[in-house]
Amino acid sequence: MIFLDFHNPAVEALLLSRFNNAKQGLKHEKIDYTVADFDRVIYRLHTVEGDKSKLMVSLLIRFFDELREYDVEGLLRREYGDYLCSQPQPGYSVTLLFDLNNPPKNGEAVAHHVAMLKRNCFAAVFEPFFLLQALAEEPLISKRAVIHYGDMETMYVQALEDRITVIFSTVFQDANDIIIGKIFMQEFTEVRRRYDRAPQVLYSHRVPPAELRGTDAAVGDNMAYITFVLFPRHLAPHAADHTISLIHTVRNYLHYHIKCAKGYLHMRMRAKTAEFVKILNRARPLYEEEPVVCVGALGLDSTSALERQLSRQSNSVVSQNGSMMTKTLMIDHSDSVDDFSGGSVTPFGDNLENDYYCNSTDSVPQPVFE
């Protein structure tokens, strides 16, 4: 298993290249890039029309209006300072502005921090609840945040006296994803048994957990709920930032590994199929080069096979006119019994007057072909 990046590497690389070019005194270029991220988030990096020295980074989050209830703009102002524009670009939620004539001295750190713009927007929900839980002196059952971060997908954050509960609802588009997702989430339970400092993880299919009673939580065969119980050790000042970075990627982390698991299974099935095909090809019988001839009475495949059979066996049945033979076996019935080297010829019966049973003690007469 791998952890997804908390930042957007494409945004970081684009910003860093612009900053480095500006420091080297290279000519400013007009750029306009659109970068997609998880949770239907869109980044846009472009220069201002008519001024290539001004670089703007805009972010579109479809649930940004719900984040405003938790002072997301105040948090962004604290994190990005003067880079934050008072008014975002039309169609976007947040916009940052950089002057390439005066690039940041610590360009790498600034580029990385800008690439975490989506993560910092999510942090606006968690930070107040972390602080609320730390200062609470009585149960906070009524304190709950509801963020609809996707179609039919919701994040719930609830602060209690001794813990923070974070619940993600997610939709599975494929029935196989439900099975793989359940197996995948069971691993979190196993880790909890081996490492008691890990947060408690609960998985619920179809029916929402008890914490969501009385809410608009969806119910369905393709719905799943993932519950993380965070304890004070996960909310301490030295661990809170890392907890936020990890917890906000849970939904994407799950679906990413489901796709990886399905890809691995398909790869193994294709490899096994190729192996079975090789085995079948090696097991294919080698046929005679001569034309196949069907002899109904003897059950032989060719005239050469007939000769071999007659030479091996002492008891043979010879048909005077086999209906399916391409070459007819001819026996001269004018010959006497003595002509068969001491053998005896006994008719089978009245209905088989042309068929003879040859019982030879010395040798079997060779058939004569036309």
Secondary structure (DSSP) of 287-304: PPSSPP--BTTTTBSSHH
Residue 140 pLDDT class (50, 70, 90 cuts)? low
Q: Classify residue 210 by its DSSP letter.
A: G
Q: What is the dihedral of CA 307, 313, 316, 320, to 10 degrees?
A: 10
Query: Is the per-residue pLDDT at 94 higher than 50?
Result: yes
Reported as a single tens digit per residue, the pLDDT across 224-270 is 999 999 998 898 888 999 999 999 999 999 999 999 999 999 999 99
Question: How far is the C-alpha of 45 from the C-alpha of 56, rounded, in Å?
Answer: 6
- Please state which of the ranges 16-25, 45-54, 95-104, 282-291 shows the lowest mean pLDDT: 282-291
Same topology for domains 1-121 and 136-284, yes or no?
A: yes
Q: What is the mean pLDDT of residues 264-277?
A: 94
| Top-confidence residue, 46 or 343 | 46
46 or 160, which is more confident? 46
Residue 123 has pLDDT above 60, yes or no: yes
Name the average pLDDT for the chain: 80
Task: Give the amino acid at 233.
Answer: R
CATH number corresponding to 136-284:
3.30.1460.20
pLDDT of 114 > 80? The answer is: yes
Write the CATH number of the domain with boundaries 1-121. 3.30.1460.20
Write down the pLDDT at residue 196: 81
Give Dmax over CA atoms of the chain in angstroms: 123
Show me where the domains of the chain are located: 1-121, 136-284, 303-369
How do residues 327-361 score in pLDDT, each as one tens digit?
Answer: 434 444 444 444 444 444 444 444 444 444 444 44
Which residue stretches of 248-343 are H helix? 250-282, 303-312
For the stretch 176-232, pLDDT in tens is 999 999 988 888 878 888 888 889 899 998 888 888 877 778 888 889 999 999 998
Residue 163 pLDDT > 60, yes or no? yes
- Tell me the three-class secondary structure of 150-193, residue by residue: ECCEEEEEEECCCCEEEEEEEECCCHHHHHHHHHHHHHHHHHHH
Residue with tokens 């059950």, as numbered in its chain? 299
**What's the gap between Cα 361 and its chain centre?**
73
Instruction: Give the pLDDT of residue 62.
Output: 93
pLDDT digits (tens, 9 = 90+) for 48-84: 998 999 999 999 999 999 999 999 999 999 999 999 9
Amino acid 22 reads A
pLDDT of amino acid 129:
87
Angle at 158 between CA 155 and CA 160, to 5 degrees: 160
Q: What does the pLDDT read at residue 138?
A: 57
**Both structure tokens of 25:** 């005194």
User: Which letter, b or e, does each residue of 270-281 get, where b requires 16 or more Cβ atoms within 10 Å of its Cβ?
Assistant: eeeeeeeeeeee
State the alpha helices, DSSP H only, in the chain.
9-23, 64-67, 72-80, 107-115, 117-135, 175-194, 232-235, 237-247, 250-282, 303-312
Rounded alpha-carbon distances, angstroms, from residue 350 to 39, 140, 241, 265, 316: 91, 107, 103, 68, 19
Q: How confident is residue 142, by pLDDT bands cut at 50, 70 and 90?
A: low
- Percent of all residues in the chain with a pLDDT value above 90, rounded to a whole number: 50
Q: How far is CA 126 from the centre of its chain?
A: 31
List the one residue out of 261, 283, 285, 265 whose CA is nearest residue 273: 265
Q: Using DSSP bridges, classify how beta strands 223-230 and 164-171 pair: parallel, antiparallel or unpaired.
A: antiparallel
Is pLDDT larger for residue 319 or for residue 261? 261
Instruction: Choose between 355 and 47: higher pLDDT.
Output: 47
What pLDDT sits at residue 24? 92
User: What is residue 133's predicted lDDT score, i.e. its pLDDT?
Assistant: 72
Position 255 scores a pLDDT of 92
Q: Which two structure tokens, joined as six digits, stand for 116?
A: 């975490």
- Per 3-state DSSP, what percentage of the chain is helix, strand, and coil (rounded to 5)? 40, 25, 35
Query: 104 pLDDT exceeds 50?
Result: yes
